Amino acid sequence: MTSAIITVLLLLLFAPDWAAAADEEIYPADYREAPAGPPPGQAIRKYAEDAEEGAPRNFGVQAVHDNRLFATFKADRFEHQWRERGVELFLWDVAGWIGNDYDKLYLESEGEVLLEENEEVEEAMIELLYSRNIARFWDLQAGLRHDVEPNPERTFLALGVQGLAPQWFEIDATAYLSEDGDLSALIEAEYELMLTQRWVVIPRLEAGLSAQDVPEYGQWQGITDVTLGARLMYHVRRELAPYLGATWSRKIGETAHMVDKAGGDVDSGAVVAGLRFWF
């Protein structure tokens, strides 16, 4: 009994020293705890400050490259369309921007060329937009749009949002106020369905709206038209992807009624082949 009590007392007396010895075996002599992050409300230091001179002095500082200038150009749709009744069109939908993570300047253009002997441009517009990041995945955009075709030419003020909705739907919604005071809007939505790492199906929805009757441009109040389409794309590499697809357009509401009354086409379908690329 006495020997058991002595053993317990020895264990209690030397246990801290044994624990310290165990720690010394686990951690090297120069071990240091990782530095704590910045206090709440204090900005994270950037990896490289502007105009920094001399030898690097920022080892161990978190990398945040939000002060750099980037630029890119992308042809979202660059395609040949074979429509009903033997009509062939070339369509382009391109955009380029320059800026940083928070502020960008966009230059965009979209239009159609009727592929006949004279290759008449049916629609053509160009936009210059300032884009400001207002939330995660969302930008607020404002600027100018100019329609070169159809005649007569028009200029608009533009205000809209662009970003990723839940479930990764790409949304681009813009309201336009013309120089004549006509208010309209355009909504575009896309979704990239990955079949494999290279094969992608992209459903697309586009809808136009008008707040007034503008008969000289074939628009009446309400939803004016809807376009549905899907494109099967193969990524040769991330910057280059040919595709095949189909698209269907229809006039809606009063616009459809007036176009049909004038003998125009209310709806039309097309097979498309094109190329998406960026650099």
Question: For the segment 69-105, what is each residue's pLDDT rounded down to a tens digit?
Answer: 899 999 999 999 999 888 899 999 999 999 998 999 9
Average pLDDT over residues 174-193: 95
DSSP 216: G
Does residue 273 lie within any of the structural domains? yes
User: Which domain does 197 fall in, by range?
Assistant: 78-278
The pLDDT of residue 119 is 79
pLDDT-derived band at 64, boundaries 50, 70, 90:
low
Does residue 8 lie within any of the structural domains? no
Compute the distance between CA of residue 96 and CA of residue 150 in angstroms, rounded to an integer: 24
Residues 6+ away with beta carbon under 8 Å from 25: none
Total structural domains within the chain = 1
Place of tokens 């992050």: 37
Give the dihedral sign, CA 54/60/66/69. positive
Cβ–Cβ under 8 Å, residues 242 and 234: yes
Average pLDDT over residues 147-161: 93
Compute the distance between CA of residue 203 and CA of residue 114 in angstroms, rounded to an integer: 24
Does residue 104 lie within any of the structural domains? yes
What digits encode the pLDDT tens for the residues 44-62?
555 444 455 555 555 555 5
Does residue 265 lie within any of the structural domains? yes
Does residue 243 lie within any of the structural domains? yes
Does residue 151 lie within any of the structural domains? yes
Cβ–Cβ under 8 Å, residues 279 and 73: yes
Average pLDDT over residues 186-202: 96
Cβ–Cβ under 8 Å, residues 123 and 112: yes
| Beta strands in 115-168, from DSSP E residues, in sequence order | 121-135, 138-149, 154-165
| Beta strands in 8-69, from DSSP E residues, in sequence order | none
Does residue 10 lie within any of the structural domains? no
Does residue 153 lie within any of the structural domains? yes
- The CATH number of residue 188's host domain is 2.40.160.40
